[in-house]
Structure 1
Amino acid sequence: MLQTLKDDFKAVFERDPAVRNIAEIIFCYPGFHAMLFHRLAHALWQRKFFFVGRLTSHLGRFLTGIEIHPGARIGRGFFIDHGMGVVIGETAEIGENCTLYHGVTLGGTSWAKEKRHPTLGNNVVIGSGAKILGPFTVGDNSKIGSNSVVVKEVPPNSTVVGVPGRIVMAGAQKGDLEHGQLPDPEAKAIACLFDQIQSLERKVRELTEEQELLRAGQQKPTPKKKVS
C-alpha cells in the first residue's frame, strides 16, 4: 500500500508542473482522492461486497466529480489531471503510468454483460474530452488527442485524433501529449482539395483560351482573289 501511494505521488510530481508539495496532492488533487476511493471500492468489489463497493464509488464520484466503476482494473502510476467529468466503466482495464485529462470517457457500446469497455496499455495519454468506446485495446505509448472519439483498436506507439479517431502518426514517444503539435487531417484534406480546385481552374482557363482562339480563327474573313 505504501509503495502504491509513493507511485501515486511520483506520477503527480512527474506530470503536473503546478504541484509544489505532497500536502497539495493530499488535500487539493481530486484525481488522487478518486484513486483512494477506487482502491477501497475495488477491494470490496473483489470480495463480492457489490453494494458497498458501488456505494463507496458513488461517494467518491460525489466528492470528486470522477466516476470510476469499482470493477475497473487500474495499474500503478495512474494520474487523472483536473479530473472533472472522467468516467471509467466496469470492464475497463488500464495499464501502468497512464494519464487521463478531464472529461475523458472509457465507455461501452453494448448492453450485454460482457467485456464492453476499452483496455489501455502502459504509458497511454488521453487528452481532455476524448471518448474511447468499445472493448478494444489502445496500445502501449499511444496518445489520443483532445475531443477525439475512438471506436476501434489503436496499435502501440500511435497518435490518434479526430471524430471518428484516425491514426495520424506512428512511432509516438513516451511522454506528454503535445496538443499544439498534433497533425490536423481535416485541414490537410481541405488543403489537398483546394490544390486540386486550383489545378482544375487552370486547365479550364487554358481550354477556354484555346476555344476562343479557334473561334477567332474561324470568324476571320478570307482574303478575296484578284481577277486578272
Structure 2
Amino acid sequence: MKMIEDIRSVFKRDPAARNVFEIITCYSGVQAVIIYRFTHLLWRYKLYWLARFISTLARWITGIEIHPGAVIGRRFFIDHGMGVVIGETAEIGDDCMMYHGVTLGGTSWDKVKRHPTLKDGVIIGAGAKILGPITLGKNVRVGSNSVVVRSIDDNCTVVGIPGRILKKKVSDDDQFDSYAASTSSSANDPTVQAVNSIIERLADLDEQIANLSGVSEEAREDLKEIENK
C-alpha cells in the first residue's frame, strides 16, 4: 500500500524519525501526502469538489498544497514541508523527495499539461521553483532556491537562477545539500571556474602593468641624465 511505503521511506531519509506514531502525528509532509492519496482517489472518481475541499483543509493543517489531480508515485517524502505547492497536472515518479518552499508550478492558463514531470529519484532542495511542462530526468537534484524552466537530463545536479547544470553525474555517495550548494560542489561549477580564471588573469595583468610602469620611470630618468649631459 502506498501510504505504508510513504511512512517507511521516512526512516531512510530522516535520521530524526524515531517511530511510526511520531511520523504520523508530527510530520506535516507525511500527513499531507496521506491526505493527498485519499483526495486523489476521490478525484479519479470525479468527486472533484469534495476532493478540493478536503485538500484545502489539508493545506490549512499542514501548510502544504497538493492538488488532488496531481499524479504522485510511491515512497514520496516531503521534509519539513511548509510552503510546498504541487499543481494539478504535475507528475512525480517513485522515490522522490522535496523540502519546504518547493513549487511545481504552471506557466499557462490553458487547460493543458502545464506543470512539471519528475522522474524517479528526483530530489528538490528548499525553496526551489520548477515551472512549466518540463521534465526532470531520473535522479536529478535541484539545489536550494533554484529556478528551473527547462527540461533536465537524467543524473544531473542543477543550481542557480535560471537553473544551470552543475554536474552531469550523480553518484549514490554524493551528499545532497537541501539548503544550498556546498563549497565543494561550487568548486566544480564551470561558471565559478571561469570567473576565478578571469580574476587571476586580471591580477597578472596588474602586475605586468606595474612592472612596465617601473621600467618606464627608469627610462625617463635615463633620458633626463642624457639630456643634462
| Aligned residue in 2 for 1:202 | 207
The reply on whether 1:177 has 2:176 as its aligned counterpart is: yes
Match of 2:133? 135
Contact 2:71 2:90 in 1 (8 A): yes
Query: Given the superposition, is the C-alpha separation of residues 150 and 89 from structure 1 closer, same or farther in structure 2, using an over 3 Å criterion?
Result: same
Q: Residue 91 of structure 1: CA displacement?
A: 0.9
Q: How does 1:53-92 map to 2 (within 5 A)?
A: 53-92=51-90
Q: Which amino acid aligns with 1:214?
A: A
Q: C-alpha separation between the residues in 2 aligned to 1:40 and 1:7?
A: 15
Does the 8 Å CA contact 1:40/1:56 hold for their aligned counterparts?
A: no
User: Matched residues in 2 for 1:88 and 1:127: separation?
Assistant: 14
Letter matched to residue 33 of structure 1: Q
Deviations 1:85-119 (A, max 9, x none): 00001111100000011111111222222111111
Change (3 A) 1:204 1:92: same
CA distance in 1, matches of 2:198, 2:106: 36
What are structure 2's unaligned runs of at least 5 residues? none
Residues 150-161 of structure 1 correspond to what in structure 2 (within 5 A)?
Answer: 150-161=148-159
TM-score normalised per structure 2: 0.89
In 2: Cα distance, 1:10 partner to 1:95 partner: 17
Q: Secondary structure at the match of 2:158?
A: strand
Q: How far does residue 188 in structure 1 lie from its aligned partner after superposition?
A: 4.3
Name which of structure 1's ranges 57-66 and 208-217 shifts more when overlaid on structure 2.
208-217
Distance 1:210 1:115 in 2: 68
Deviation at 1:4, TM superposition (A): 1.4
Counterpart for residue 217 of structure 1: 222
Whether the 8 Å contact between 2:3 and 2:34 is mirrored in structure 1 is no
TM-score calculated relative to the size of structure 1: 0.90
- Of 191, 197, 212, the match for 2:196: 191
Q: Secondary structure at the match of 1:132?
A: strand
- Which residue pairs with 1:111 in the alignment? 109
Tell me the CA shift for residue 26 of structure 1: 1.6
What do residues 122-178 of structure 1 show as CA deviations (whole Å, max 9, x unaligned)?
111111111111111111111111111111111111111111111111111247513
> Residue in 1 aligned with 2:6?
8
- Contact 2:93/2:119 (CA < 8 Å) preserved in 1? yes
Report the CA distance between 1:223 and its aligned residue.
8.7
Task: Supply the distance in 1 between the matched residues of 2:136 and 2:175 (Cα, whole angstroms).
Answer: 16
Give the Cα–Cα distance (whole angstroms) in 2 for the partners of residues 183 and 223 of structure 1.
60
The sequence identity of aligned pairs, in percent, is: 49
Query: For 1:51 and 1:44, how far apart are their aligned partners in 2?
Result: 9
Whole-Å Cα distance in 2 between the matches of residues 159 and 30 of structure 1? Answer: 27
CA RMSD of aligned residues (A): 1.9
Structure 1 consecutive aligned stretches of length 4 or more whose deviation exceeds 4 Å:
184-190
**One-letter amino acid of the structure 1 residue matched with residue 122 of structure 2:** V
Count of residues paired in the alignment: 222
Partners of 1:43 and 1:176 in 2: CA distance: 35
Between the aligned partners of 2:20 and 2:109, the Cα distance in structure 1 is: 41
Query: Which ranges of structure 1 fall in alignment gaps of 5 or more residues?
Result: none
